[in-house]
Amino acid sequence: MGICPILEVPVSPSSVPAGFPSPAQDYYDGGLDLNKHLISDETSTFIVRVSGDSMTGAGISDGDELIVDRSLKPRDGSVVVAILDGELTVKRLQVTARGVVLRPENGEYPDIEVPELSDLVIWGVATRCLHRL
């Protein structure tokens, strides 16, 4: 994995209202480096493609791409890429007094209560979801 080249994209100086339109404003001449904006640790960041619909309630759909940072410490509530008994999954991490739960964000899927003797590895923490409109 090499150093990512700078990728600057022009940025508007103001936000775009999603309600009523406002008068047009000039565009800003500067840019935003997407690498710096989306990636905090280049050597530990990967993009993974999501398969399935168990996380739609979190805004993550089938075919979306997640930016995953392996250097981040997973916390209660993090969306994580986990390996449970050799199987990859994307779920919300919940740490309870009873143990670890991997929660889908779609009522069609059950919570995964991780048995104490299971082989669970939190591969990385999702920081962004990229999807087409």
Q: Which residues are catalytic?
A: 54, 91
Residue given tokens 């991997």 in the structure block: 102
Q: How far apart are CA 77 and CA 79, in angstroms?
A: 7
Each as own residue / partner, the long-range contacts of residues 42-49 (CB below 8 Å, 24 or more positions apart, any chain) are: 42/1, 42/3, 42/4, 43/1, 43/71, 44/69, 44/70, 44/71, 44/124, 45/69, 45/70, 45/71, 45/127, 46/70, 46/124, 47/130, 48/81, 48/90
* Cβ atoms 14, 27 nearer than 8 A: no
